[in-house]
């Protein structure tokens, strides 16, 4: 079997030598297999955390590199009776899934062939098949199609674990051995009924269920496969006067790559030569191509539509935007949601309890109720076979797999599985104004000069002291000065107070530029300019004050364009029953003007960047589950402090974005989509868990024969096996219905 891929090991932020790696796991059949691997690998020295996902067939391990290496982890998994693979080529994962489904179908067809004699026996033709034929067919079925169950059971018992394979093997073994005794020792058994058909049909139905499950799981993970398929396979490298074609994975940072019209851009880079329009829809969601010129950046896997380009590679391999997105989604899918812990706890005791119930069933019928041996054995085997820990193991990860895939297709990235579960419970949503409700590109609209100064001089002084600042308002002021071709003075002793303002000295004069709080802290008199300030604030404009030697000499008004989708997004978020609060560093009056424009009733104004995290905590102390939406520029601590941090990303560096949810397409409407998707996914998880428990609670008593005294119905083991197989398939299929509901998450349509 081809090894499946994993993202490269990356250093953890918690420990300089800690590594995190994802492995593809082969051979798991139920939740108990997951527990066996997690416990087995978890005891290795240096292992910090192990999370196994049954549906994605992945294991994520955080470990200390100096204590344990990758080979030790793989070896431990193999000792437990499973296969573990790691690698870089994600295409191998798709090939492995195809191979597994094909192999499962081959086993179904082979077992179906062996079942032909038993099917003939069931026809109303009264055709009698010799026992030797039945023995040969059932023995072949056990030795071929059924061998995998015996291997799994052996490793489970060896490692003191109980799995679905143990239940199936107990049922198969008891049916086969009892049937042999009936055939070869006929005088010992009054009831001559044998169970050879149970052996073959049980294997057939379980194999059929595994095949359908493999197909369904393949569909669940198709979103990630589609993303991988977007990557370019080849790249043209320019070396001197020559050009050669190499695999895109071999491109190095700094290489010059030629991209022809109509081709995918193979790596992230910067345009060196050429002009074009690039279709960036896979990243931004915008269908209209974006014009690109020399010096502009381009993203790998986007489409070069018209021009001939030469780009310099800046990010390659696992560092490209697309690879970061892929790795983020893989990590989320391999993660375990909190609700899964309950299912794991049940699965841990499930098999021993079922074996006990089967034994009690046999003794009750055979000893207490004086039933025939074959009757009691039939009921006990049915109990063993109908019990299904698989559905418990698949309930949560399958829904997470589908939900995260839907999010991926819509540019919504969930960093962990728990986020999909927790986002459904949001009560209060804090929205940063700049870059979230507005476009985040403020522009100077007004320059008011006082005390004999003119606009030119005010801008020259302001841009001189602010030209080294990275604050968005400072950048807007310097850009306005550049537009007017004004060169700033050279200042000394420049000092910036984050979020408030900046000061510097020009000869013996002290210049201060910043917010009203910055001026108030410097005891600067603001009274003479209140009328002008109020006019600008009523227009929703942000004001930068300019003071020289404790006197206000000018006001600079700035405005940021409200996002086109802001009002619609706020309306939809309010319809979800959320409490919405706008957070900004602006003055109350200016903040209210913007809030009114977009439809937000509650405003937290005059909040410094470093105070936003405290604000989140204040709302949390009220017992509310708080979400924070921001662009991650000056609100990273608040995004990290919130129960759910939602970052409206630029797509530049997905892996390093702060927040639990990243909105790659930079659309505010995606906030509602993310919440709706979280709620829908949680509903599917609860439905799946309910079905898994309900099936077992109902199925086990029926298999034990509780209906026989009333209705005369006793479930045959082979049909119990079919029910068990379809219980797993139903859980996966139910999760796939999320895809059919996908249009509900396109809330702008």
d(CA 437, CA 584): 10
- Let me know if 432 is a catalytic residue: yes
CA-nearest of 156, 111, 103, 164 to 137 is 111
**Ramachandran region, residue 599 (left: φ > 0; alpha: ψ -120 to 50; beta: rest):** left
Q: What angle do CA 112, 113, 115 make, to 5 degrees?
A: 60
CA-nearest of 397, 390, 388, 432 to 629 is 432
d(CA 590, CA 162): 65
- Phi and psi torsions of 600, nearest 5°: -95, 130
Q: What angle do CA 461, 466, 469 make, to 5 degrees?
A: 175
How many C-beta atoms surround the C-beta of residue 625 within 10 A? 17
3-state SS class at 580: strand
**CA gyration radius, the chain:** 33
**Ramachandran region, residue 285 (left: φ > 0; alpha: ψ -120 to 50; beta: rest):** left
Report how far apart the first and last C-alpha atoms of the chain are (Å, whole number): 44
Strands 492-497, 501-506: pairing kind? antiparallel
d(CA 265, CA 232): 7
Find the length of the chain. Answer: 749
- Phi and psi torsions of 118, nearest 5°: -75, -35
3-state SS class at 484: coil
d(CA 178, CA 668): 66
- In DSSP terms, 662 is beta-bridged to 413, 647
Helix axes 389-409 and 669-704, enclosed angle (nearest 10): 160
> Which residues touch 57 (CB under 8 Å, ≥6 apart)?
4, 24, 25, 26, 28, 217
3-state SS class at 124: coil
d(CA 10, CA 61): 11
Both structure tokens of 331? 């990590």
> Which residues touch 491 (CB under 8 Å, ≥6 apart)?
464, 465, 504, 505, 506, 511
Q: Which of 268, 279, 335, 432 is catalytic?
A: 432
3-state SS class at 22: strand
Active site residues: 432
């Amino acid at each position: 079997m081809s090894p499946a891929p994993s993202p490269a090991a990356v250093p953890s932020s918690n420990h300089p030598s800690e590594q995190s790696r994802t492995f593809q796991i082969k051979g798991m059949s139920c939740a108990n297999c997951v527990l066996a691997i997690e416990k087995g690998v978890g005891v290795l020295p240096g292992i910090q955390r192990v999370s196994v996902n049954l549906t994605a067939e992945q294991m994520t391990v955080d470990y200390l590199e100096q204590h344990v290496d990758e080979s030790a982890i793989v070896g431990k998994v193999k000792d437990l009776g499973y296969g573990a693979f790691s690698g870089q080529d994600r295409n191998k994962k798709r090939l492995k899934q195809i191979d597994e489904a094909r192999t499962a179908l081959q086993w179904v067809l082979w077992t179906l062939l062996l079942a032909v004699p038993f099917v003939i026996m069931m026809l109303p033709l009264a055709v009698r098949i010799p026992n030797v034929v039945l023995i040969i067919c059932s023995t072949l079925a056990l030795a071929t199609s059924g061998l995998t169950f015996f291997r799994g059971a052996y490793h489970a018992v060896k490692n003191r674990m109980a799995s679905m394979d143990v239940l199936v093997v107990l049922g198969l073994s008891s049916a086969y051995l009892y049937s042999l005794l009936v055939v070869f020792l006929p005088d010992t058994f009054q009831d001559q009924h044998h169970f050879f058909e149970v052996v073959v049909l049980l294997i057939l139905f379980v194999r059929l269920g595994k095949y359908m499950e493999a197909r369904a799981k393949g569909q669940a993970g198709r979103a990630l496969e589609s993303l991988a398929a977007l990557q370019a396979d080849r790249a043209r490298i320019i070396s001197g006067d020559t050009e050669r074609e190499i695999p895109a994975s071999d491109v190095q940072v700094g290489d010059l790559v030629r991209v022809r019209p109509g081709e995918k851009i193979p790596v992230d880079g910067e345009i060196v030569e050429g002009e074009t329009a690039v279709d960036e829809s896979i990243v931004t969601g915008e269908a209209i191509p974006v014009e690109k010129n020399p010096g502009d950046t381009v993203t790998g896997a986007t489409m070069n539509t018209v021009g001939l380009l030469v780009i310099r590679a800046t990010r390659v391999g696992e560092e490209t935007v697309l690879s970061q997105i892929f790795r983020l989604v893989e990590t989320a899918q391999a993660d375990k949601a909190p609700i899964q812990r309950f299912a794991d706890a049940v699965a841990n005791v499930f098999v021993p309890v079922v074996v006990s119930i089967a034994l009690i069933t046999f003794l009750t019928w055979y000893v207490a109720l004086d039933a025939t041996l074959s009757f009691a054995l039939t009921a006990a085997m049915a109990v063993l076979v109908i019990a299904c820990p698989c559905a418990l193991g698949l309930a949560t990860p399958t829904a997470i797999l589908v939900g995260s895939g839907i999010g991926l297709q819509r540019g919504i990235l969930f960093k962990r599985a728990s986020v999909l579960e927790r986002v459904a419970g949001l009560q209060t949503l804090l929205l940063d104004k700049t870059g979230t409700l507005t476009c985040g590109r403020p522009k100077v609209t007004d320059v008011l000069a006082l005390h004999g100064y003119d606009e030119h001089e005010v801008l020259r002084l302001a841009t001189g002291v602010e030209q080294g600042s990275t604050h968005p308002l400072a950048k807007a002021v310097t850009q306005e000065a550049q537009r007017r071709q004004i060169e700033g003075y050279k200042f000394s002793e420049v000092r910036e107070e984050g979020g408030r303002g900046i000061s510097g000295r020009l000869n013996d004069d002290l210049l201060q530029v910043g917010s009203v709080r910055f001026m108030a802290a410097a005891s600067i008199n603001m009274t003479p300019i209140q009328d002008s300030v109020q006019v600008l604030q009523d227009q929703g404009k942000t004001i930068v004050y300019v003071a020289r030697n404790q006197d206000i000499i000018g006001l600079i008004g700035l405005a940021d364009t409200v996002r086109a989708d802001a009002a619609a997004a706020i309306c939809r978020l309010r319809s979800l029953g959320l409490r919405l609060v706008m957070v900004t560093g602006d003055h109350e009056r200016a903040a209210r003007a913007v809030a009114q424009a977009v439809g937000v009733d509650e405003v937290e104004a005059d909040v410094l960047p470093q105070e936003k995290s405290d604000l989140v905590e204040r709302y949390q102390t009220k017992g509310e589950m708080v979400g924070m939406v921001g662009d991650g520029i000056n609100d990273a601590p608040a995004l990290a402090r919130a129960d759910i941090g939602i970052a409206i990303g630029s797509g530049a560096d997905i892996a390093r974005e702060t927040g639990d949810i990243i909105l790659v397409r930079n659309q505010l409407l995606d906030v509602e989509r993310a919440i709706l998707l979280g709620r829908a996914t949680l509903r599917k998880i609860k439905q799946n868990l309910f079905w898994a428990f309900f099936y077992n609670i109902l199925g086990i008593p029926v298999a034990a024969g509780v209906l026989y005294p009333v209705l005369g119905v006793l479930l045959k083991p082979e049909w119990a096996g079919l029910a068990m197989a379809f219980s797993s398939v139903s859980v996966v299929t139910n999760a796939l219905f999320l895809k059919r509901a996908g249009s509900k998450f396109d809330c702008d349509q």
